Amino acid sequence: DAGVTQSPTHLIKTRGQQVTLRCSPKSGHDTVSWYQQALGQGPQFIFQYYEEEERQRGNFPDRFSGHQFPNYSSELNVNALLLGDSALYLCASSPNRVSYGYTFGSGTRLTVV
Amino acid sequence: AQSVTQPDIHITVSEGASLELRCNYSYGATPYLFWYVQSPGQGLQLLLKYFSGDTLVQGIKGFEAEFKRSQSSFNLRKPSVHWSDAAEYFCAVGEGGGSYIPTFGRGTSLIVHP
C-alpha cells in the first residue's frame, strides 16, 4: 500500500516564475493538507483540501493556490516566486478531514534563485 | 491562538543514555498533542498522540510522553537511545474536534554520540 507520494522531489526555479507541486494521497484518504517547512523551522500550514474545495487556509498570500482532483490527488501552485519561498513543501493526507490521522509525504525541496 | 514551544534546538546524548525532549503548549481547552519524527530527507512520522485519558502515552520505537496540564507540557522520553534515533523531533498541538489543524513547534534536533 503506497503512502503519500509527492513529485518532484527537488526543484530549482528563478524568482518571478511559477511552480506546481503534486501530491497523491495514501489509499483510502480523501483529505490533503499542504505545509511549508523552511530550513530549521517546523511545518507551517498552507491549506487543506477536501471534496475538491479549499476548506481551511493558513496565513499565506494568494500567490499560493491549490487544487484537488476527483481522485483526491492535489496540486500546490505558487506564483511570482520569491527567494523566501525556498523550503520543503510537505503534503499530508488523512481521512474525512481528520488531521490527527495525518500521513506525510517526503516532500518537495523547492529552491528559488 | 494555539502555540507550541520546543525550548531546545539541539540535544546531544550518548547511545544508551536516556532522553527527554521538552514541549510546552499554549491552548485554552484540552489540547490534542502529538510528537512527530523527521529523518533527513523524509517526511514526518507520527510517534504518539494524546487526546484524553491516561496522561502517559506510549508510542512507537520505544518512545513515551506525559501530558502535564498544570505545566502545559508534553515531554517526550525514551529510556535508552539508539543511534538510529538521531533525527528532528516536532511537537504539535491541535484543538479538539475533527477538522482542527495542528500547530507545530520549531523542532529539536537529536544528535546521538556512539
* Residues A37, A51: Cα–Cα separation, whole Å: 25
Least Cα separation, residue A81 to chain B (angstroms): 23
Where b means 16+ CB within 10 Å and e means fewer, A73-92 reads: bbbbebeebeeebbbbbbbb
Residue ranges of domains in chain A: 5-105
φ/ψ of residue A99, rounded to 5: -80, -15
Secondary structure of residue B82 in the 3-state scheme: coil
Contacts of B102 in chain A (CB under 8 A): 45, 99-100, 102
Testing the interface with B: which of A24, A47, A104 to mutate, by most B Cβ within 10 A? A104
A5 reaches B (C-beta below 8 A): no
User: A99 and A45 in contact (C-beta within 8 Å)?
Assistant: no
A60 reaches B (C-beta below 8 A): no
Contacts of B32 (CB under 8 A, 6+ apart): A100, B49, B50, B51, B93, B94, B95, B96, B100, B102
pLDDT in tens, A29-77: 999 999 999 998 999 999 999 999 999 999 999 999 999 999 999 999 9
pLDDT in tens, B38-97: 998 888 999 999 988 889 999 999 999 999 999 999 999 999 999 999 999 999 998 755
CATH numeric code, B3-113 = 2.60.40.10
Q: How many CB atoms lie within 10 A of CB A95?
A: 13
Least Cα separation, residue B22 to chain A (angstroms): 15
Contacts of B81 (CB under 8 A, 6+ apart): B13, B14, B15, B16, B17, B18, B19, B110, B112
Task: Give the DSSP H or E segment for B34.
Answer: strand B32-38
* A5-105 CATH pick, 3.40.50.170, 1.20.120.550, 2.60.40.10, 3.30.70.20: 2.60.40.10
Q: Which pairs from B43-47 meet CB under 8 Å and 24+ separation?
A: B43/A4, B43/A90, B43/A92, B43/A104, B43/A105, B43/A106, B43/A107, B44/A43, B44/A90, B44/A92, B44/A102, B44/A104, B44/B90, B45/A104, B46/A102, B47/B76, B47/B89
* Residues A7, A5: Cα–Cα separation, whole Å: 7
**What DSSP designation does A46 have?**
E
pLDDT in tens, A78-112: 999 999 999 999 999 998 877 677 899 999 999 99
Backbone dihedral region for residue A81 (phi beyond 0: left; psi -120 to 50: alpha; all else: beta):
beta
A66 reaches B (C-beta below 8 A): no
* Residues B77, A95: Cα–Cα separation, whole Å: 29
In A, minimum Cα distance to B38 occurs at A106
Residue ranges of domains in chain B: 3-113
A25 reaches B (C-beta below 8 A): no
Residue A1 pLDDT level (bands cut at 50, 70, 90): low
Report A:70-99 residues touching B (Cβ under 8 A): 90, 92, 96-99
Contacts of B94 in chain A (CB under 8 A): 99-100
Confidence (pLDDT) at B28: 67
B46 reaches A (C-beta below 8 A): yes
